[in-house]
Structure 1
């Protein structure tokens, strides 16, 4: 894939806008809340950082994906949640404060965990002449495109809270549009791969998405977390930041591989429907329990 001027300009802007929007919704309290609620945060992080990559590896092996597609799905597994997870959690009556905390903490950890998992995946799935490991300089680029916009958004929220509050809704709309644009670019850049591998990659992405939702909801319930926290963790783990994965895969200065972006693009399309279905199911089955927990929290 060649580094076109449009691609070079669009990807950093798209990801920067999305991460800036995330920063506008964060405060320092979202990080310090870990001390107040260590157990649900720890459960969510263990599922996100350890369980999901292992399950994704098994799926990749089971479907015998092409090397670049395998790395792409592993890249997605390493991606944190995002503002979309917060929105779906709100609609499903989950603990949105927990979502925000998990997103904040996970985004920081992803600065190190994503390059680590990507490098391991490149070494395992790609031949020596195909693998382009993310060296330290490229890890710094990941740091810049993820953390700096978030930090800027948090500064705006800190010093101009009214402006940040007014901008939250418009930024969510703009972020959604950029997500659609990023997914579209991913499809266009490697359309033939999409056509050739869509059935297999689509099934692998769907299975990974469903398992992510199931693990994210089921493990907290087995460990007797409240219903609202289980819904929040389910949404956080089931809805990955596909835009970040696509941007890292397509970026000419990072992985520069359009095929690696395909799993995240397909996943980003699928997750809207599966997350909506999960929210509908959990409210239909456990709606009374969720309502009771909300009343107890309000009281």
Structure 2
């Protein structure tokens, strides 16, 4: 698809409208800050310490976001014979950390919320080092092209580094003002939706109504297949780790949901517009399809999976009531997924001391 790549790159001329272009850059930057602040507000230091002692969530985030997804993006770019501009946009999206959409979806499928938040936060921190590395490794195939020779890995690292401040501020807000943190998490989820809608409208205004028609069918196909394959890979990965069903659903959503705000910000703020052109739209298309497919996942679960989940949780409660001592080893295993909170652990220990007395 070289001709396709040419027509897409040509879309960069439309970014000549300086005021709209600057407005778009500000919106992308602000949207990313609010998202990262919301992510920080969702992290509790106690949970973080627990996960660092038994880092299953950290390991799954590493394997899902920086092994499975970049490789998937690379293979799809090769299979569909994308031109270098489209390939870089797809690779960039594949190398991004997890997005906070997965946290919301995990709640809707009765997933493990602690695991979801820890995976999103740890993949975002790991991205500081691993995202530029993955981009460098997988872009070698297109090394002789201008877009890869000018790949701004330093600027990508700088953009990633700038996200640490709002994340750190969010963690501090959660520690000092938990109620304000809860509100901020809700605001960040709504801002994600609003920002994506405004980005679609502004980009459509700048690049013209023919933009979507100029994007090759292969790029649409990847935007549909990539999140779907990501969800399947995540579920498979959690199954290999012998995780319980609610954790499998969580890891599945975490792996397929990418941080599209970060991807959009990197494409918009670090690449010359005449170089990246219409491929700036790819993360927005990915966001559209990852949301639709996650919504379908939730719908299928609500219709067919919820009864099975209730039976599982009932069974677990009955087992715990019969004899906690017998299941002590299993409880330790469960806490590695972040499912047993400190309060629950303490209350169980109190019950144990009472029974022994």
Q: Same fold (TM over 0.5)?
A: yes
Question: Matched residue of 2:243: which SS?
Answer: coil
Q: Which has the larger radius of gyration?
A: 2
Could you say if the C-alpha distance between residues 70 and 39 of structure 1 is closer, same or farther in structure 2, counting changes exceeding 3 Å? same
Could you say if the C-alpha distance between residues 200 and 213 of structure 1 is closer, same or farther in structure 2, counting changes exceeding 3 Å? same
In the alignment, what sits opposite 1:217? Answer: 235
> Gaps (5+ residues) in structure 2?
1-11, 321-357
Alignment of 1:221-240 (within 5 A): 221-240=239-258
The separation in 2 between residues aligned to 1:125 and 1:297, in whole angstroms, is 55
* Aligned partners of 1:187 and 1:265 also within 8 Å: no
Greater Cα offset, 186-195 or 216-225: 186-195
TM norm structure 1 = 0.88
> Gaps (5+ residues) in structure 1?
none
Find out whether 1:150 has 2:167 as its counterpart: yes
Q: Which among 159, 175, 199 is matched to residue 141 of structure 1?
A: 159
Q: Which among 51, 54, 65 is matched to residue 71 of structure 2?
A: 54
Question: Matched residue of 1:130: which SS?
Answer: helix
Cα-to-partner distance string for 1:97-154 (whole Å, 9 max, x where unaligned): 100000010010111222223334444326443332224355223211x211111111
The separation in 1 between residues aligned to 2:65 and 2:55, in whole angstroms, is 15
The separation in 2 between residues aligned to 1:137 and 1:201, in whole angstroms, is 25
Tell me the C-alpha RMSD between the 2 structures: 2.5
The separation in 1 between residues aligned to 2:267 and 2:236, in whole angstroms, is 31
In the alignment, what sits opposite 2:219? Answer: 201
TM norm structure 2 = 0.75
The separation in 1 between residues aligned to 2:137 and 2:200, in whole angstroms, is 25
Q: CA deviation at 1:195?
A: 1.4
Alignment of 1:109-148 (within 5 A): 109-125=126-142, 127-131=144-148, 132-136=150-154, 138-144=156-162, 146-148=163-165
List structure 1 segments (4+ residues) > 6 angstroms apart after TM superposition: none
Aligned residues: 297
Q: Which among 96, 99, 112 is matched to residue 79 of structure 1?
A: 96
Q: Which among 284, 290, 299 is matched to residue 265 of structure 1?
A: 284
Q: Which among 297, 319, 322 is matched to residue 278 of structure 1?
A: 297
The separation in 2 between residues aligned to 1:133 and 1:80, in whole angstroms, is 19
In the alignment, what sits opposite 2:310? Answer: 291
Could you say if the C-alpha distance between residues 185 and 238 of structure 1 is closer, same or farther in structure 2, counting changes exceeding 3 Å? farther
Cα-to-partner distance string for 1:266-290 (whole Å, 9 max, x where unaligned): 1101111110111233454443442
Question: Matched residue of 2:147: which SS?
Answer: coil
Could you say if the C-alpha distance between residues 23 and 183 of structure 1 is closer, same or farther in structure 2, counting changes exceeding 3 Å? farther
Could you say if the C-alpha distance between residues 297 and 91 of structure 1 is closer, same or farther in structure 2, counting changes exceeding 3 Å? farther
* Aligned partners of 2:66 and 2:131 also within 8 Å: no
In the alignment, what sits opposite 1:31? Answer: 48
